[in-house]
Amino acid sequence: MQKIFVVGAGTMGSGIAQVFAENGFDVIIRDVDIKFVERGLGVIENNLKRSVEKGKITEEEKIKVLGRIKGTVDINEAKDVDFVIEAAIENMEIKKQIFKELDNVCKEGTILATNTSSLSITEIASSTARPEKVIGMHFFNPVPVMKLVEVIKGMKTSEETFNTVKELAQKLGKTPVEVNEAPGFVVNRILIPMINEAIGVLADGVASASDIDEAMKLGANHPIGPLALSDLIGNDVVLAIMDTLYSEFNDSKYRPHPLLRKMVRAGLLGRKTGKGFFEYK
């Protein structure tokens, strides 16, 4: 496996492209608008620049890694790649459309993975004629730093596909865990309701946003507080995951807090828009 196609140049897509390129793979990163592609490539370049400044890599290594990544808006460039990972918006209809196109464009043996944070792998796979080659490969934000990859089997995912993706995650220096498809998989089923609860604590006026985060950092030893984490993940993504958990389980314990929905409606998405529960410059 050498040629990788990443669909989506946002926070996750660009992080995934960077990690593949750092580990010697040739990467094509695709988004619908060249503006998004350029922004993603800019983020990767800045990350690598910081690594050079910290002395973690040399300037030559940076140039080599960047040279392995090519941007495009054309999905047809996936025709001769060995592996595809999709990291587009968390919307089932859009993902199914993308997988349908990829299924038409890609070689027979190409594995089609999705970085979805909570949607059904089985349903995404149903839009293709190769459900045994469709799988979840779920990275965590920030991708270059976080060690975990959830490797998620849909109902028809083959063992061969699972083993290939597990090995691929290891080649990237990540630690894979095996997950059978279920809403939110493992991490998000536990983590996102905790964030939702923190938003409820804020809405109830129990404590300020910074005190809630301070409490969870010092009282539970979390690296950052739940509200700062929501801003890091993106409040729109947190809402999409809560909506999925709520609709899939039909259990009120997963109801998204109205304040979360209101913030998303106001465009207070977190780091990516400069303001969420906290402000970012």
Asked if residue 140 lies in contact with residue 146, where contact means CB atoms within 8 angstroms, the answer is yes
> Quick one: 44 or 125, whose CB is closer to ligand CAA?
44
What is the widest separation between alpha-carbon atoms in the chain?
Answer: 56
| Residue 31 counted as an annotated binding residue | yes
| Residue 109 counted as an annotated binding residue | no
Q: How far is CA 246 from CA 154, 243, 253, 256, in A?
A: 20, 5, 8, 8
* Subset of 100-139 contacting ligand CAA (CB under 6 A): 117
> Quick one: 50 or 262, whose CB is closer to ligand CAA?
50
Q: How far is CA 202 from CA 196, 213, 232, 277, in A?
A: 10, 10, 17, 10
Enzyme catalytic residues = 117, 138, 150, 188
Binds ligand CAA (CB under 6 A): choice among 140, 246, 254, 277: 140
196 binds ligand CAA (CB under 6 A): no
Q: How far is the CB of 145 from ligand CAA (least distance, A)?
A: 4
Q: How far is the CB of 51 from ligand CAA (least distance, A)?
A: 8
> Quick one: 81 or 264, whose CB is closer to ligand CAA?
264
| Residue 272 counted as an annotated binding residue | yes
Q: How far is CA 110 from CA 105, 120, 151, 161, 183, in A?
A: 10, 20, 17, 10, 26
55 binds ligand CAA (CB under 6 A): no
Going residue by residue from 219 to 258, which x/- string records binding to ligand CAA, judged by CB under 6 A? ----xx----x---x---x---------------------
Per CB under 6 A, the segment of 93-101, 142-150, 159-167, 213-221 that binds ligand CAA is 142-150
Asked if residue 98 lies in contact with residue 7, where contact means CB atoms within 8 angstroms, the answer is yes
Q: Is 85 left (phi over 0), alpha (psi -120 to 50) or beta?
A: beta
Q: How far is the CB of 229 from ligand CAA (least distance, A)?
A: 5
141 binds ligand CAA (CB under 6 A): yes
Can you list the positions of beta strands (E) in the chain?
Answer: 3-7, 26-30, 69-72, 83-86, 111-114, 134-138, 148-153, 175-180
What's the CA gap between 108 and 180, in Å, rounded? 25
Per CB under 6 A, the segment of 92-100, 140-148, 205-213, 258-266 that binds ligand CAA is 140-148
Strand order through the sheet with 69-72 = 69-72, 26-30, 3-7, 83-86, 111-114, 134-138, 148-153, 175-180
What's the CA gap between 221 and 144, in Å, rounded? 22
Binds ligand CAA (CB under 6 A): choice among 100, 144, 200, 261: 144
Annotated binding site for NAD(+): 8-13, 31, 90, 95, 117, 141, 272
The binding site for ligand CAA (CB under 6 A) comprises: 47, 50, 54, 117, 140-142, 144-146, 188, 191, 223-224, 229, 233, 237
